[in-house]
Amino acid sequence: EAGVAQSPRYKIIEKRQSVAFWCNPISGHATLYWYQQILGQGPKLLIQFQNNGVVDDSQLPKDRFSAERLKGVDSTLKIQPAKLEDSAVYLCASSFSWGGTDEQFFGPGTRLTVL
């Protein structure tokens, strides 16, 4: 079974530039998550999709971050404009459904460096 795919794996940009990350979840998984992990901290949920609808985006900085999930499959996360504090690993995860017992499968992450 193929895992969660993410690209790019690494990205270096200057502050105020824009960047986009792509995620392809495990086939058949209805729920998709984007997490931000700053060095030395645990991952923090940014946004959660159930199919192509947003379930939870309470911690997404909406003035600069946006995300969409096209046709309930792939997803993109965009930052525009980037700030220095956005330097982090961005993790995508998926799960079969939306329940307290569902295992989340994580991708390898995209490491973003903002200079």
Is 22 a binding residue for other proteins by CB under 8 A? The answer is no
- CB–CB of 87/114 below 8 Å? yes
Burial 75-84 (b: 16+ CB within 10 A, else e): bebebeebee
Is 12 a binding residue for other proteins by CB under 8 A? The answer is no
3-state secondary structure of 114: strand
Interactions with other proteins, residue window 73-112 (CB under 8 A): 91, 93, 95, 98-109
* Residue 16 or 62 with smaller CB distance to other proteins: 62
Alpha carbons 38 and 44: distance in angstroms, whole number: 9
Alpha carbons 94 and 80: distance in angstroms, whole number: 24
Minimal distance in Å, beta carbon 16 to other proteins? 28
Is 63 a binding residue for other proteins by CB under 8 A? The answer is no
At 105, which amino acid appears?
F
Minimal distance in Å, beta carbon 67 to other proteins? 15
Q: Which stretch binds other proteins (CB under 8 A): 13-21, 37-45, 69-77, 79-87?
A: 37-45
Question: Which parts of this chain interact with other proteins (CB under 8 A)?
Answer: 4, 31, 33, 41-45, 48, 55-56, 91, 93, 95, 98-109
